[in-house]
């Protein structure tokens, strides 16, 4: 179907693009604008809950804040490596492009692992949702059990917002993996799936969420099988737009959710 | 189709000709520095409204740096910048219509 696309940039052949750029990039911008409204709605829902609820909890100890700060540093660094990947692709340096993309993926994976650790700690302390798997016969006794019972808006909005962001980061890593490694990424993705599935206890939500990687592997395999191509500088740039957006959203989640709910004393 | 791909690659290279590596490192350093300031402020025990204002202000500056430099919008055509940013800001601003209701719940004394 791509052959049917109007080649805007061919000189004198067609009218130039209204926005002075190629359609793939405009398409990604439009997607990001719509996605920003998804995150905007979630951030507003969190803020609404916070305003309208007396005694909003402040569960984040200095250890959680330090963890979230390191996560932020990883995301910011991944944005730097991403622009360096775009730069390398513009200069047609395929080796550097692949290395910078892999560095970006490594930072993204580190972010997801740290975030998963944070979630697991909160769940173990009693901050949970009814949809999360329960251990039969086990009753949580951590300090956050009362928070989940007294202010259910907090775990609902916290896990909803940060879970949606974590999903975006995971899909971003997969997207970059496909651009960097193409078909070679599929077996790697299956290894990630097995590691995530077998490496998490059966009472962890991540044990079930790991199957997202399996679904992604099937979807990526289908796409790469139906339309094999060598990804060029425009594909790297468009993937970069998505990645920077994920970073951008975290710049609002980190202060609003973590810093404004830090336990100071 | 190959000519089409080459034309796009040429356009991408043309659009990125402004950039030196140093610029990206400066932006990255500024983003990290602002994050450090945010974390410092979180432990200053400021009044919540003042802290929220400062943190959101810093977040908006960080967002502008990411959109402008990393997402390259600074170098796009004016109509691209204005259309995208005005659309998203308008939609996000419209969502604020719900906030007075949140305050109303407090004044009604809901537990």
pLDDT at A10: 53
pLDDT at A81: 97
Q: Which domain holds residue A51?
A: 20-261
Clarify whether residues B67 and B99 are in a common domain. no
pLDDT at A173: 97
pLDDT at A126: 84
pLDDT at A219: 95
Within a domain: residue A14?
A: no
Structurally, how many domains does chain B consist of? 2
Within a domain: residue A157?
A: yes
Distance (Å) from the C-alpha of residue A10 to the closest C-alpha of chain B? 6
User: Looking at residue A76, which CATH number applies to its domain?
Assistant: 1.20.120.80
Long-range Cβ pairs for the range A51-54 (8 Å, 24+): A51/B99, A51/B102, A51/B103, A51/B106, A52/B101, A52/B102, A52/B103, A52/B105, A52/B106, A52/B110, A53/A151, A53/A153, A53/A154, A54/B106, A54/B111
pLDDT at B104: 82
Residue A262 has φ and ψ, to the nearest 5°, of -75, 140
* pLDDT over 80 at A14, yes or no: no
Within a domain: residue A13?
A: no
Clarify whether residues B22 and B42 are in a common domain. yes
Name the residue among A36, A237, A260 with its Cβ closest to that of B12. Answer: A237
Range with the poorest average pLDDT among A35-49, A107-121, A183-197, B39-53: B39-53
- Count interface pairs A-B at CB distance under 8 A: 165
* pLDDT over 50 at A3, yes or no: no
Interface test with A, best of B62, B93, B97, B104 (most A CBs within 10 A): B62
Clarify whether residues B71 and B82 are in a common domain. no
Clarify whether residues B39 and B82 are in a common domain. no
Round to whole Å and give the CA distance between A135 and A127: 14
Within a domain: residue A11?
A: no
Residue A134 confidence class, pLDDT cut points 50, 70, 90: confident
Taking CA atoms, what residue in A is nearest to B106? A52
Q: What sign does the CA torsion over A248, A250, A253, A258 have?
A: negative
Q: Please write the tens of the pLDDT for every residue from A56-88.
A: 888 888 899 999 999 999 999 999 999 999 999
Burial class (CB in 10 A: 0-12, 13-18, 19+), A3: exposed
* pLDDT over 70 at A12, yes or no: no
Clarify whether residues B25 and B43 are in a common domain. yes
Q: Please write the tens of the pLDDT for every residue from A108-117.
A: 999 999 999 9
Clarify whether residues B56 and B109 are in a common domain. no
Q: Which residues in A220-256 are b (16+ Cβ under 10 Å) and which e?
A: bbeebeeeeeebbbbbbbbbbbbbbbbbbbbbbbbbb
Q: Note the pTM of the prediction, 2 decimals.
A: 0.89
Q: Please write the tens of the pLDDT for every residue from B36-68.
A: 999 999 888 888 889 999 999 999 999 999 999
- Calculate the average pLDDT of chain A: 89
Q: Which domain holds residue B90?
A: 77-111
Round to whole Å and give the CA distance between A45 and A51: 10
With pLDDT > 70 as the criterion, what percentage of chain B qualifies?
80
- Calculate the average pLDDT of chain B: 86
Structurally, how many domains does chain A consist of? 1
Round to whole Å and give the CA distance between A17 and B7: 13
Clarify whether residues B46 and B63 are in a common domain. yes
Residues 15-74 of A with CB under 8 A from B: 18-22, 24, 29, 33, 36-37, 40-41, 44, 47-49, 51-52, 54, 65, 69, 72-73
Clarify whether residues B100 and B48 are in a common domain. no
pLDDT at A1: 44
Clarify whether residues B23 and B52 are in a common domain. yes
Across A7-97, where does the E strand assignment appear? none
Name the residue among A11, A234, A259 with its Cβ closest to that of B12. Answer: A234
Half-sphere exposure in the Cβ direction for A135 (13 Å, CA): 11
Query: Which chain B residues are Cβ-neighbours of A86 within 8 angstroms?
Result: 16
Within a domain: residue A181?
A: yes
pLDDT at A22: 86
DSSP assignment, residue A10? S
Clarify whether residues B32 and B57 are in a common domain. yes
């Amino acid at each position: 179907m791509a052959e049917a696309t109007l080649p805007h940039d061919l000189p004198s052949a067609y009218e130039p693009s209204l926005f002075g750029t190629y359609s793939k990039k405009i398409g990604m911008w439009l997607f990001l604008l719509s996605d920003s409204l998804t995150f905007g709605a979630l951030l507003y829902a969190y803020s609404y809950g916070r305003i309208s609820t007396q005694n909003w909890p402040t569960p984040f100890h200095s250890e959680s804040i330090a963890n979230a700060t390191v996560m932020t540093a990883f995301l910011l660094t991944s944005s730097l490596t991403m622009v360096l990947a775009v730069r390398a692709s513009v200069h047609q340096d395929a080796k550097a492009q692949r290395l910078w993309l892999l560095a970006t993926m490594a930072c993204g994976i580190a972010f997801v692992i740290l975030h998963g650790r944070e979630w697991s700690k909160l769940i173990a302390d009693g901050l949970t949702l009814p949809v999360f798997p329960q251990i039969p016969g086990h009753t949580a006794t951590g300090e956050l059990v009362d928070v989940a019972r007294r202010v259910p808006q907090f775990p609902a909005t916290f896990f909803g917002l940060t879970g949606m962001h974590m999903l975006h980061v995971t899909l971003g890593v997969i997207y970059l993996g496909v651009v960097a490694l193409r078909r070679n990424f599929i077996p790697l993705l299956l290894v990630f799936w097995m590691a995530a599935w077998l490496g998490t206890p059966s009472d962890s939500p991540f044990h079930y969420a790991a199957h997202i990687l399996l679904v992604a592997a099937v979807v990526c395999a289908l796409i790469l099988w139906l339309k094999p191509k060598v990804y060029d500088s425009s594909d790297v740039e468009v993937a970069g737009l998505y990645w920077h957006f994920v970073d951008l959203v975290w710049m609002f989640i980190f202060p609003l959710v973590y810093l404004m709910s830090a336990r100071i004393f | 189709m190959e000519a089409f791909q080459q034309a796009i690659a040429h356009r991408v290279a043309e659009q990125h000709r402004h950039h030196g590596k140093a610029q990206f490192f400066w932006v990255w350093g500024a983003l990290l520095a602002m994050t450090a300031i945010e974390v410092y402020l979180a432990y200053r025990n400021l009044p919540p409204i003042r802290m929220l204002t400062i943190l959101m202000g810093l977040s908006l500056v960080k967002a502008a740096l990411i959109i402008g430099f990393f997402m390259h919008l600074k170098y796009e055509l004016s109509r691209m910048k204005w259309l995208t940013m005005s659309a998203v800001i308008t939609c996000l601003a419209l969502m604020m219509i719900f906030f007075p209701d949140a305050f109303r719940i407090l004044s009604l004394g809901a537990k």
